[in-house]
Amino acid sequence: MTFLMQSLVIVASFLAVYLWQKSSFSAFTIPLLALLVVVYLILARKKNLRFFFLNSIILLLVFSTGEISSPLFFLLYFLSFGIAFLFDPQVVFVFTAGLILLFFPSSLKTDLTKNLILLFSLVFLSPIAFFLGKTYQENQANKKKIEAMKKKAEETEDLWLMI
């Protein structure tokens, strides 16, 4: 999957949640969450769609429990690390930018200092998630190379034993 496709999945999720919250249907967020959870569980193999629904579920939970003042806001930190491990680590920065755009208007309504600290914590967490995700993916690539080398060594050993 390319960086662009992964970024589009995240942006589409942000856009869907934003439009849902601004529409008159926002009163039906809880039934929508139930539907999204069922769809998420059904889509076991499609990584892009699963992540779209997971991101939408978490964002809707955060929005329905108080937006930036939500007690579930910390789930977004875990989600940024999940993005770094599942997708291209650079997508974390798209995710963070989307979160800031999504939550910035509501952060100006109440305690500005607290809300800006929460938003900046997302900004400061992004490079950490990026580097951990990059290290994880490099480690996975190295494991694949080692397995391929082991298999080749075993085949070579088998050839020498035949001679």
Q: What is the pLDDT of residues 131-158, one digit of tens each?
A: 999 999 999 999 999 999 998 888 777 6
Predicted TM-score (pTM) of the model is 0.86
- Write down the pLDDT at residue 131: 97
pLDDT band, residue 76 (cuts 50/70/90): very high
- Write down the pLDDT at residue 72: 94
Q: SS3 sequence, 69-128?
A: HCCCCCHHHHHHHHHHHHCCCCHHHHHHHHHHHHHHHHHCCCCHHHHHHHHHHHHHHHHH
Which two structure tokens, joined as six digits, stand for 24? Answer: 């008159």
